Amino acid sequence: MAATPRFRKDAVAEQNTSAEQNTSAEQNTSAEQNTSAEQDPAEGAGRRHPVDETLPPLKMFTSGLQHVAAMYAGVVAPPMIVGPALGLTAKETAFLMGASLFTAGLATLLQTLGFWRVGARLPFVNGVSFAGVTPMIAIGKDRGHDGIAVIFGAIIVAGVLGFLLAPYFCKLVRFFPPVVTGTVITLIGVSLLPVAFNWAQGGDATAADHGSTTDIAMAAVTLVIVLALRKLLRGFLQQIAILLGLVIGTLIAIPVGITDFGALGDADLVGFPTPFHFGAPQFEIAAIVSMCIVMLVCMTESTADMLALGKIVGRPADERTIEGGLRADTLGSALSPLFNGFMCSAFAQNIGLVAMTKVRSRFVVAAGGVILVVLGLVPVAASVIALVPLPVLGGAGIVLFGSVAASGIQTLATAALEKGENALIVAAAVGVGLIPIAAPDFYHAFPEDMLVVLDSGISTGCVVAILLNLAFNHLGRKPDDEAGTEGEPTTDEQPRDPMTLPVAH
């Protein structure tokens, strides 16, 4: 039986319909209308909705810059992880960071401004997804430019597939309850933590000073600085505590002697992310399968984010809004490799920023998208980020990646683990997902093509969570019982769950 739509566009139409129903139905619909009126007073008064308002230029710029600051570290972190893992030079990694900023800006403009039926047209920020980091490393590790080409080919196929699936995927959200999304988000954070630990040791396991007390102490100092800033600062400065921690940590690292200025000297002041800079995309089946799984994860997270954001701004996200948002996500991802960028998805921390500042205009976020594009066209700006020593980045990374895992745990707290077999679903999915982390050689006897998927705890954990949720909470149930499936939130509960999504994807 088809799931009941979560939101309706026309509250007035509901009022007319309710008049023809029984008294109980009238009361329910009336309560629904009151909620809608509370959420959207501007439209009720005939004025332009705050989502569609434009602000004075200075406020538009500063508010947009605040969104950029809140997401900047999350955008540049994936290429900083993937580049060295693939054997790229510092200059090539800086190029990837600039490309990621550029493509994040384009994807954000697709979401906020949109065209045709593409874009949620909400203050929705897009950037490079953390979910793809581990699979991308597994695909291209130590393969240099060939590895990048295979990754880009897989992302293009996954993006096109996601674009075609968008009209149908928005109807399948009930198969991705908190028990699934919470498990996947937790695995994303846990899978990335070893990367932060390696950074804290210096990043190069073959170096003579790998894991030196100097490196680990520098990571510890940065960690303490970030935590202190989060505790002491308020508002905008608190939002950029990780960015400030990286700056302060880098300044402290200069006299210590672990800061490398080489990438900055080689960078151009102005440049354009040359299409297919690393060569034409290559298409390998195993890599495509892995990235398609990541795409489904990203679509799930973006759907949850749209539900939450729609409630915050007083414009509930109906199926058409979700469909448009998913199309923008997937189209942005498909086009991203053209400019040497990675897969794009929602940045949940910016939803919290909208809720905190009460600035609901989508044009503010569009201004942030323009700023990201400009930053992507200035390679020296990306190279400045490359100045951050790996131990400093490792200290901040513990907070950044740990907060992702913590957000997943918060999502699981809403998953009714005490009911049915939900706890068993989480236990099995997390257990399988941790295999590549706890026992890296566990699958050493399997064919090379299978390792692309198996070596990603995120991919394997996601598959296990989805299949077990279907087996325990859907198969064998009567259609009338599916609305009450353990672990699946009711229609009214679903918009609340995305607020616990990760700080950065």
Instruction: Show me where the domains of the chain are located.
Output: 50-500
CA distance 219 to 388: 11
CA distance 51 to 306: 14
Q: What is the pLDDT of residue 479?
A: 52
Q: What is the pLDDT of residue 347?
A: 78
The structure's pTM equals 0.65
Q: What is the pLDDT of residue 414?
A: 83
* Placement of tokens 């990694």 in the chain: 93
Q: For the segment 471-490, what is each residue's pLDDT rounded down to a tens digit?
A: 998 886 655 555 444 444 44
What pairs with residue 128 in β-bridges? 344
Work out the angle between the directed axes of helices 133-140 and 144-169 (0-180°, nearest 10): 140
Amino acid identity for residue 234 in this structure: R
CA dist list (Å): 394 to 92, 99, 247, 398? 20, 23, 13, 6
CA dist list (Å): 32 to 259, 412, 422? 58, 27, 30
Q: Is the Cβ–Cβ distance between 218 and 209 less than 8 Å? A: no
E strands of 238-347, at which residues? 344-346
Q: What is the pLDDT of residue 9?
A: 41
Residue 238: other Cβ atoms inside 10 A: 14
Q: What is the pLDDT of residue 263?
A: 59
Q: What is the pLDDT of residue 95?
A: 84
List the chain residues with pLDDT less than 70.
Answer: 1-46, 70, 173, 236, 239, 262-268, 348-349, 352-353, 356-357, 381-386, 449, 452, 476-505
Q: Which residues contact 209 (CB under 8 A, 6 or more apart)?
A: 202, 215
Q: What is the pLDDT of residue 352?
A: 64
